[in-house]
Structure 1
Amino acid sequence: DQCVYAVNKTTQISRKGLKQSQLREVLALANVSLMTDGCPNIVRYFSSWFEGGRLHIQTELCECSLRDRMVQRRRTAGVPAAFGAQDVARALREVATGLDRLHGCNFVHLDIKPDNILVSGNPREQGCYKIADLGLAVAALGSGCDDVSEGDCRYLAREVLQGDLSDLPKADIFALGLVGYELSTNATAGLPCNGDEWHRL
């Protein structure tokens, strides 16, 4: 079809050795793609297959991650490291739109962070922000979900860290708030993993 795609290839595994997170990502991507009717703020899934002892996941190709953009800004002379208010607002709005659609499909992401937010390379989308990496996503709105893998501890809500899984969509919103904070400051050190500073956030 003369289109360019991204193909994520796992490490060598046997069919029986497929990791739960890898299957979870494929199922979440496939379901969300069907249910959101091409939401521009979630990376589009096209196909997956098992070949040569590896799981391959085909998605739309994006230019870079939001983390890459942050690093690029820190390295570019004459550009303020922190993102401007309009840039932060746009990123938060677009990711929040993707989360709204994801939550509307009865999924939560649980690993929202700049590394998992991609920037579209499609000129028609003008650098649209897209949620990627649904490897930890679970169909777990409301209580009763006990099969939750935790994402990056720097972006996890205190309730999730303490084992309270009763309102997981709020954990995604908490993580998005931290992404906004990180964009606004774009500090080289990044977010703390624990301690007093983490608690203040």
Structure 2
Amino acid sequence: MSASQLIQNLRNTRVAVVHPRDQDGDDLVRQLQRIGCQVQVVWPPPPQLPLPLDAVFFLLDRDTRISMPWRMADLAIAHIAIVDYENPTVLKALLDSSAHGVLVRPIRASGVLSSLVLALSQRGYEGRLLAKIGKLEDTLRTRRDVEKATRLLMGLRNLSEDEAYQFLRKQATAKRVPIGTIAGSIINAHAMLAELDRDGEAEK
């Protein structure tokens, strides 16, 4: 999502506020509602957030296990920490939280929108990076499987490396599946046959 799209969609942003219903909490909720966000207030910190959400503002304690007991890694949402003051202990907790943005109490209306936009942008960028990493890992896994299947065919059928690879390609084209799928099938079949041979030897 581009920066302009992100800003245009702010009125549809679903936000949870994990904060006591005090002056700061009420000020934050009012400002988010002025922006046009759909706001839910939750206190105390729940083990699971009320999904679906796009972002969560949460009061950060020195112990992140208490202030954010949910599993952040499982949630594709922006996390904005709210801190009381800035000392080494709080800064360490802030780093441990892996938050995408931060607000310092007392909360001022002028900083809420900027923190939300930046956090949503950072989370979107993070999501795109994770998707790219996932694709790279899939590519590497496929390459390893193809190389292994090629070696198996070379040994089992006395083929050259190019002949074995071309066989994999032809099978993938004929079955209209990725070459990695064919390679994986050959690897799995070879493993099963090897296990049958071992079982047969053990029974003798």
Query: Which gives a bigger RCO, structure 1 or 2 (Cα 8 Å, sep 6+)?
Result: 1
Whether these two folds match at TM > 0.5 is no
Structure with greater proportional helix content: 2
The TM-score with structure 2 as length reference comes to 0.24
The TM-score with structure 1 as length reference comes to 0.25
